[in-house]
Amino acid sequence: MSTPTRLLSTKFTLTTPFQLNFMHKMIHTTGPSTAFIPAPESKGKPITVIGNDAIRETFCDTTIKQIQNCRSAPGVTEVVLNPDAHLGYGAPIGCVMASPTHIYPGPVGVDIKCSMSLLQTDVHDDKIADKRIRRDLIKAICERTPTGAGKGQRSVKKGRKVTLEIGRKAVTEGASPEVCEALGIPPEWADRCEDHAHYAHDGTVSSLEARLDKMLHAGYHSRFQNKIEQLGSYGGGNHFGEAEKVTINGTQEAQRAAEVFGLKNNHIAFLSHCGSRGFGNDLAQRQFKDLEAHFEKWNIPYPNGDKKLVYAPLGTPEGNAYLDDMALGANFATVNHLLINALILEAFQEVIPGTTGDLVYFISHNIAREEIVNNIPQWVHRKGATRAFPGGHFALKDTPFYKTGHPILLPGNPRDGSVVMAALPGAEKSCYSVNHGAGRILGRKAAARALDQSTVDQEFDTHDILFNGRKYPIDEAPDAYKDFNQVLASVEEAELAHQVAHLAARFVIKDSSAADD
């Protein structure tokens, strides 16, 4: 993937030209940060594009081709390309796809229900100004929440014991009262989740239990034991935990939303990004394998020849199997996040006795959910995209967020910060969705070649941001991602959402193993 010529920081400039080619000529501007791409052969509704001029230049031709492939896939009625969009697995990361008739694993992704969560504490920012306090917090957190591929609760000193029985209940029941009690998770946190539990294709837990039993009896038992021990862990890659100073925006609208969300100005919140770990990946890879075998057996053509756009019609055995596996992975991700937050709060309480904290929200950006789109039920696939229901949306009727819209948690990067947003009525144009963050501008290998480690580490020192390692992973450096200010400007100019609060990183928890080799 080539990259645009742009100033990435005051100390480093990329000089590789971006391939605009003919694909960008297909993007037609309709507003400051809205555009469309005609559907292939002009059949059906055009693809909605969210992004200003600077952002649209970050879309490589292959990303545009992928989103066109999604639009022409069977049963698809709506497709959205978000400002964080970049090359993905079958579908771009940073896209939305809706279908009333088909389910697609690719536009969900291999990390089923990769998500964001935010824990608000009563710790004032002043209390952690001392680097020694922050180092103690990093140590206490890392003794409870493992990072790195394959790491689980057994690899840390103060983790939770996750039994096979609780692991079974976690993946079939989600954040049920019994699961929360067993793992030390405040049960009321389940009410602060986009979805605290996912059910089988028939709306039952029993069918999920039967699906899991079938897996275990087919030889997955020992591997399952290993995977459930990853509950309460971050993993590697772009997953992270960040202690954040909260600054609430000054508008009345933002102040009202912040009060409902439970945000505390100038206090420390903790932002987490992770998903269903190895268990969700196993489920997703098995689904790709099974569906590809089905396509080959029946000589079904892949959408535009792309195997990673395999699908299953809803109501078929294949469609039911995918929905069941997606639910199992999604339940794991939900409990994983809630357990991480319980462990984070416990770590704060160890270092700063008397600390209290509450979950602000937990929201996914790799999931398919059945929602009403264009007045009919459709499965909305969000891959690197997050739900954005505004105040007054009927789906929020019995929640605390009916008047304000629910919290939207958008990570940027440690240097430039992250934000909490709330949707506006204009989000209807994007299937009530926004981007899930900044989105990559450099691939991992390209980042390692182009960026300077000493410059990255110096920026962290300049901004007084601590890290749980000696060197910040170069492939996860802020300049490996798109300009977050341009991303946010696109969301606001398109009238999808407004900022409620800015989050400034005070320290970062991330997989440091590769960087510290």
Any idea what DSSP says for residue 227?
Answer: H
Q: Which two tokens stand for residue 249?
A: 């925006």
Q: What is the spatial distance between Cα 124 and Cα 264, in angstroms, rounded to a whole number?
A: 9
- The percent helix, strand, coil of the chain (3-state, each to 5) is 40, 25, 35
Residue type, 238: N
User: Torsions phi, psi of 312, nearest 5?
Assistant: -140, 130
Is 381 a residue of the active site? no
Query: Which of 86, 102, 239, 436 is labelled catalytic?
Result: 436
Query: Nearest Cα to 73, choosing from 301, 315, 282, 249?
Result: 301
Query: Nearest Cα to 437, choosing from 491, 495, 500, 377?
Result: 491
> What crossing angle do the helices spanning 317-351 and 131-142 adopt, rounded to 10°?
140
Q: Which two tokens stand for residue 144?
A: 């409870």
H or E element: which one contains 83? strand 78-86
Question: Between the CA of residue 203 and those of 38, 172, 173, what are the distances in Å?
Answer: 37, 12, 12
| Sign of the alpha-carbon torsion through 287, 290, 294, 299 | positive
Q: Which two tokens stand for residue 228?
A: 């459930």
Q: DSSP string covering 255-305, please? A: HHHHHHHT--TTEEEEEEEE--HHHHHHHHHHHHHHHHHHHHHTTPPPGGG
Q: What is the spatial distance between Cα 232 and Cα 241, in angstroms, rounded to a whole number?
A: 12
Torsion of CA 261, 96, 82, 198, to 10 degrees: 30
> What does the angle CA 343 – CA 349 – CA 351 come to, to the nearest 5 degrees?
110
**Which residues are marked as active site?**
436
